[in-house]
Structure formats: C-alpha cells, structure tokens
Copies of this chain bind each other. A is one copy, B any other.
C-alpha cells in the first residue's frame, strides 16, 4: 500500500519510511505547501492540513505536525516549533532555559490522515523528557539535539534507537494499527 506524505521535511520522511516499512506501507513524498492555521493544538493544524491536501491532490494523504512543549515556558514553542527553529533555533531555546531548574518538556507528533471527501483523522504520539543544557549529538533534526530522554538526547541516538521510542514513531504506529 502506498500513501502520499505531504511535507517538505526529508527527516520526517526517512523516519516514517523506516517505521511504516515494517508494516508493508510505502510512502511517496509530495512537497506541496499547505496552509497551517494558528492553533494551540497540533491536532487542529494536522487535521486542517490533511483535509486541504487531500482535496488539492485528490488522493489520500498524511501530514505530520510536531512540536516541543516546554513546561517552564508555558508550552512554548509548541505549535510554532518550526518557525522558532527557523528564527531563534536551538541556541535561542537554550538561552531561554538558562538558569531554569524545571527542564521538563514533551515532544509531540500528530499524524493527520485524510481521504478525499472524508473527514480527517489524527493520531498522536507523545514522548516525555527534558531540555538538555547544550546541543548534543548529530543525528536527527530540529530539536533532537536538545531534547533528552534518560540522559541521552534524540540527537545522540541512532535512527533505529530513536524510532523505537520517538513521538513520531508512536503516532505512526497508531496510524498503521488503524490502517
């Protein structure tokens, strides 16, 4: 079975291919910018994006909307993680967290799936962890080098290690179970 994954992010595609490949699902990447609403819930953003892309492409599609929610920063950067990554980056996040004792954060991935003419469905994966004190590791992308679980950042994990536990893997496996 082949599904269209609408994203401009190659890292997301590689992870999804590896995880869904275990279930015999193949992915075709389509880079088509879809409008994102400003909402505090990733589920809303992923659902709207999937509906829009399914209508536009006339095919069943998946989209992925992800973010890191830092408790000491009232959930910032949350749904705007991609914009924050592009502007202040990991160094900006680390600066905001300087001297902050409460390092708790969660990373969350929401897979939005939609067939043309149908209502979209969402599948959510969450991973709890902490913001590290500096960037560590060269694997992954985005916030991976500053998000740690059990003392190791996602950036220090090999792809197969990250894919065992990651928020995205959890969301994708829920999606594959449903499918």
Q: Which residues of chain A have a CB within 8 Å of any CB of chain B?
A: 35-40, 45, 73-78, 80, 83-84, 86-88, 92, 95-96, 98
Known: A88-B96, A96-B96. 13 other contacts (CB 8 A): A35-B39, A36-B37, A38-B45, A73-B88, A73-B92, A74-B86, A74-B87, A76-B83, A76-B87, A76-B92, A78-B83, A78-B87, A92-B96
Which of B38, B40, B76 interacts with A88 by CB under 8 Å? B76
Bound-state CA distance A36–B80 (Å) is 13
Chain B residue nearest to A69 in the complex (CB): B87
Which of B36, B37, B76, B86 interacts with A84 by CB under 8 Å? B76
Using Cβ atoms and an 8 Å threshold, which residues of chain B touch A87?
A: 73-78
Bound-state CA distance A160–B84 (Å) is 35
Bound-state CA distance A80–B40 (Å) is 12
Using Cβ atoms and an 8 Å threshold, which residues of chain B touch A38?
A: 35-38, 45, 80, 83
Chain B residue nearest to A72 in the complex (CB): B88
Using Cβ atoms and an 8 Å threshold, which residues of chain B touch A86?
A: 74
Which of B36, B37, B83, B96 interacts with A95 by CB under 8 Å? B96
Q: Are A74 and B88 in contact (CB under 8 A)?
A: yes
Using Cβ atoms and an 8 Å threshold, which residues of chain B touch A73?
A: 87-88, 92
Selected A-B contacts with CB under 8 Å, 17 pairs: A35-B39, A36-B38, A38-B38, A38-B80, A38-B83, A40-B83, A73-B92, A75-B87, A76-B84, A76-B92, A78-B83, A80-B80, A88-B96, A95-B95, A95-B96, A95-B98, A96-B96
Bound-state CA distance A86–B76 (Å) is 9
